[in-house]
Amino acid sequence: MALTQRNASTTRPARRRRGTILTCGVVAAAVALSTVACASTEEEPLHSIGYAIDDAVTTYNANTVDGAASGARQALVRVLPGFGYVAPSGRVVADTDIGTATAVPGETLAVQYRLSPDSVYSDGVPMSCDDLVLTWAASSGRFTAPDESGEQVPLFDAARRGAYADIERVDCQPGSKEATVVFRPGRNDTDWRSLFGATELMPAHVAAQRSGVSDLVGAINANDTEAVRRIAEFWNTGWSLTPGEFDPALFPSAGPYRIESYTVEDGLTLVANERWWGNAPATDRIVVWPRGTDASTAAGDGRIHVVDVGAGSLGHGLDLGDGAATETVVSRNLEQLVLATGGVFENPAARRALASCVPRAQLFDELGAADESSGVTGPISSRLLAPDSPLYPQTAGAAERYATADVEAARTEREASGQDRMEVRVGYLAPDDRRARTVALIAESCRAAGIEVVDAGSDTFVPSRLGTGEVDAILVGTAGATGAGGTAAMENARGALHSGAGSNVGGYRNGRVDELLDGLLVAREDAAVAGLVAEAERILWDEVPTLPLFAQPRTIGFADGMYAGVPNPTLAGSGWNMDRWILRG
């Protein structure tokens, strides 16, 4: 059973020079997908392809808390590539255009990274191990400072933690093409291949210049708090992307495309990067149409040719024209409620009260069911394992208490929390017809239990608002994603429940859960994984920091005449291989 499109290739389709003529048989053999359309080989390829996504793009840095939840990963996957990318299978595949990563033999895990000798940013500055050092420093969590209350908080607003926290050091001679990443003794993390991946390597030379730190690597290695603070301040906010305000010097590319412009009227325009050292993009220009741009107008004008959106999220849809290949597939993205751990939900009994009255089975039947052959036949029962994991059935039993709505149990838990009534404001990125319907069904079911659920959807929503008290719960995907999300390994989903991760926007803290999640990073045997997951899920279903609903269906479409359009219902989105797209028409 697979969650993604069946028979999807796990490697980027073979590169071909622009203008190559392909028959339908060759295309079918190359990508083995029914969604790839073929056009007459006599038709000339278009020089521009429009790509619509269901998320906003507000930053170049997809690694901050709100950046990771945004559409930046989908829009910039071929602008800021790394040592690996998430393929349609949901697994990480090495991207050798950027370089190689090789584990060094020894008792303690060490990985040698070698950047391609030709790797260079579009502004002419070579890629270097400085970029790896910056990525590690930002996500490791080791650089902290006291906040107003005296509590030590991370300087970097990084979403991801995971294996980056287990790296002891990055041996890097500033400006070098090589680095050795050394992990702490006993922390031989199994997911190290996902590190330094697509959209995670940011241009360190820009951060150094803009923060006024001439030796970024030296400052980080010396634990120079003041210098690192300046670097972090830029890293957190300096790469903001606002339509109509674009400074090319801030946004050098290391991929086959670079950003040319960004406006509401004309979208986020990517053009071929003249300094790209790999095979040239098959199409010169890709225009990404995120939320906040005139995507509807562009669709009406025939300027959108690829769509990747949550099923049912856009009531009007985006017409791709006659002959388009469009289908709804089950994604790796976990549709879920993330609950605050303060305010109305400070008492776990209050969180159990809401969970008890949420009609999870009804939500799946009406909004979550997509492709029966996927094998996903009901609400998601585990936050830590994918439904197609062979261990999933063994660890999902703790969810049974919330299989169907139980108003009486919800009322009892609400009273146990000490509240005569509860008002729960649910935030999400609006407009979104599917999520609005989700909130409405929950409100209808919970009202009888004395729980008033309020739709707090907003077109300016970001997941971090949960921590500021503006809402009590958020309706999002894996790790807070407002659009596409998820991988097969579930590393982002697991990390978002760790007290040390920025993506844990609800502020959930449980020392034992942290220990279990840290154990999963290094667990290799199935029996060990199953034991860790089972114990963690028992705690999580009792304390309910999140409430899993269903695997998010996504509608993915390609215009007639598209070559190499391959659905990728993961955090990478279907633009994962946009540099191979060819559209004839």
Which ranges of 32-186 would DSSP assign to H, the alpha helix? Answer: 65-69, 72-76, 129-140
- pLDDT value at position 322? 85
The two tokens of residue 582 are: 């060819």
- pLDDT value at position 26? 25
- pLDDT value at position 374? 60
- pLDDT value at position 148? 81
As its CATH architecture, domain 331-552 has Roll (3.10)
Q: Helix, strand, coil: what percent of the chain each, to 5?
A: 30, 20, 45
CA–CA distance, 60 with 567 (Å, rounded to integer)? 23
- pLDDT value at position 149? 83
Task: Give the contacts of 109 (CB within 8 A, at least 6 positions apart).
Answer: 103, 182, 183, 187, 188, 189, 192
CA–CA distance, 263 with 243 (Å, rounded to integer)? 4
- pLDDT value at position 559? 96
Report the candidate in 471, 349, 508 with the shortest Cα–Cα distance to residue 418: 349
Q: What is the pTM of this model?
A: 0.91
Note down pLDDT in tens along the chain; length 585 residues.
Answer: 334 333 333 334 333 322 222 222 222 323 333 334 444 455 788 899 999 999 999 999 999 999 999 999 999 999 999 999 999 999 999 999 999 999 999 999 999 999 999 999 999 999 999 999 999 999 999 999 888 888 889 999 999 999 999 999 999 999 999 999 999 999 999 999 999 999 999 999 999 999 999 999 999 999 999 999 999 999 999 999 999 999 999 999 999 999 999 999 999 999 999 999 999 999 999 999 999 999 999 999 999 999 999 998 886 667 788 889 999 999 999 999 999 999 999 999 999 999 999 999 999 999 997 666 566 788 999 999 999 999 999 888 899 999 999 999 999 999 999 999 999 999 999 999 999 999 999 999 999 999 999 999 999 999 999 989 999 999 999 999 999 999 999 999 999 999 999 999 999 999 999 999 999 999 999 999 999 999 999 999 999 999 999 999 999 999 999 999 999 999 999 999 999 999 997
Q: What are phi and psi of 287, to 5 degrees?
A: -110, 115
Which ranges of 483-558 would DSSP assign to H, the alpha helix? Answer: 491-495, 511-522, 526-543
Q: 24-58+242-329+554-583, superfamily in CATH? A: Periplasmic binding protein-like II (3.40.190.10)
Instruction: For residue 230, give the amino acid letter.
Output: R
Domain 96-196+203-237 -> CATH class: alpha beta
Same fold, 24-58+242-329+554-583 and 331-552: no
Apex 35 CA angle, 29 and 41, nearest 5: 65
Extents of the domains making up the chain: 24-58+242-329+554-583, 96-196+203-237, 331-552
- pLDDT value at position 150? 84
- pLDDT value at position 371? 62
Collapsing DSSP to helix, strand or coil, 48 comes out as: strand
CA–CA distance, 131 with 193 (Å, rounded to integer)? 17
